Amino acid sequence: MSATTPLEIGPYVGRRQLGGGAGGEVWLADGADGPVALKVARSVSQREVLRSEAATMSRLSHRNVVRLIDSDDAGAWLAMELINGASLDVWARGRAVSSIVDVAAELADAIAHLHDCGLVHGDLKPQNVLVDRDGRPTLIDLGLTQHTAQRIAGGNFQGTYGYAAPELLKQGERGHTVDLYALGAVTYHMLTGRLPFTTRDPAALAWLPMTTLPEPPSSRRPRTPAALDDLVLRLLARDASQRPGPASALAEAFRDTLRSSPASPVVGMRKEREVLRRAVVAATSGTPGVVVLHGPRGSGRRTLIRECVQHARREGLAVVDSAETGKSFMQTLRSSPDVLVVPLDGNRKISVRVAEKILREALPVLALLRADQPVLSLQRLGARHMVPPPLRQRDLALLLHAYVQEPSRAGELHEATRGLPSAVRAHLRTRRVDVPQDLDAAERELLTATTSGPVRISVLATLMGLSEHGVVDVAESLLDRGVLVEADEGAAFAMASPI
């Protein structure tokens, strides 16, 4: 049947096919009370799915969950309210962070409603969410929703690669945590336009979430609030017990992230950072590991170690202070019931001896050594060695954007710093903006409020006792003079070069 041929089924007349999939065809249809989204089964198995979906929808009542209007007792069709909107991935393109956070918070509320009803969605993804003109997201497909902890039928994977949690990929019982992971993946996609894991081979999405960790969103989208960066990555934790919850607390958690300063993004060095993320994953299973990061001062060794430690903490690994590396320190490594991560100064002989013992005794420890040169004794024992590469020009363009500076200066900055991370950051932090002396009181108040980073216009309005239009009026001359810049796609203002 043509997608444009009217379809008569039950009391409805289908006018145009909107889509289709494993759960059946979806049609724009006319009913006695107006247009509906009509889902139609084309097989016996699809009838079972629609019957189950109708039963699920009849239990739910939430502004962000599609409403059931009518259904066939035999599962031949079900009619839902018609949502006029774009799919979440299409809607998110070019959106301000604040708008994305609002949508993520509403989705968290919807997921919490399902959980309160004893249900797990199990297939949250952008294509299952429509966002209307008012920015209201609606879950439109509940075909895979099941009771909490219900096993996947037949032991077969049901879900969508790229958004499915590791425990769902392993075909185990699915509980509330799979929806928390999917919410993190969806928010990551909205922020960056990418899946948490990028690969040329789609089949790799079946195993990547079990072998590595996602790159922070701020590495893809500069000026992402630091707290939002962390919340999304914690939702994407491999260990389900480390994900923040319950879902009912996440809406407020998302909105609170907008109060934080922008994250200091880590850019470039992607191969080395991926190696370290995989080392964290290996450590979670108790595999001993030693990674030596060597190179000149300012080459990015500390940055790589710091990011690796942050990943480890989100996975529930304990980080041990290695300031004291004597006998008591080794006793701590040998007796701890937890997997440990230990940053070490590889230029100290005692640190090298500790790393040697970790490998020889196969202790469940990941040691990260910062050294000036390769450590031959550790090479012989199988330690991984890496030299952080210089940042490339495109990496510097991202950093310039993060510091609210003109990305076109990337070539000039690369020539001045040779891509050495410490030199780049020093250059960015010391550059000042010449603030005009002829500013009025309101203009000075606005600049003072934005010296530490972007501030939303709505927040500035409250701080300054003005309407949002009033704030924009004050900002106009500052924008023209290059002292102030727009941030978050126009939703916020910031000084042209925060330090």
Q: pLDDT tens for residues 281-316?
A: 999 999 999 999 999 988 999 899 999 999 999 999
- Of 23, 39, 44, 24, the closest CA to residue 143 belongs to 23
Please say whether the beta carbons of 458 and 449 come within 8 A.
no
Predicted confidence (pLDDT) per residue in 190-223, tens digit: 999 999 998 888 888 989 999 999 999 999 998 8
Quote the tokens at residue 60. 């739910």
**Which tens digits make up the pLDDT trace of 167-185?**
998 876 678 999 999 999 9
pLDDT of res. 156: 66
DSSP code of residue 150: P
Position with higher pLDDT, 483 vs 243:
243
Q: With H, G, I as helix, E, B as strand and everything else as coil, classify residue 172.
A: coil
Enzyme catalytic residues: 123
Q: What is the arithmetic mean of pLDDT over 460-487?
A: 79
Give the Å distances, CA to CA, from 466 to 19, 52, 455. Answer: 47, 52, 15
Nearest to 416 by CA among 405, 408, 427: 427
Would you state the structure tokens that stand for residue 210, as one six-digit string? 């079990």
Amino acid at 467: S
- pLDDT tens-digit readout, 397-450: 998 888 778 889 999 999 999 999 888 877 776 554 556 667 888 888 888 788
The helix (run of H) or strand (run of E) holding residue 86 is strand 86-87
The answer, yes or no, to whether residue 153 has pLDDT greater than 60, is no
User: Which is it for strands 146-147 and 34-40: parallel, antiparallel or unpaired?
Assistant: unpaired
260, with CB counted inside 10 A (0-12, 13-18, 19+), is middle
Retrieve residue 328's tokens: 């008591």
Query: Could you tell me the CA-to-CA distances from 256 to 98, 252, 253, 289 in Å, in that order?
Result: 11, 6, 5, 37
- Amino acid letter, 494: A
Looking at the whole model, is its pTM more than 0.75?
Answer: yes
Strand order in the sheet with 129-131: 86-87, 129-131, 137-139
Cα atoms in the Cβ-side hemisphere of radius 13 Å centred on 355: 32
pLDDT beyond 80 at 490: no
Residues 423, 299: contact at Cβ < 8 Å? no
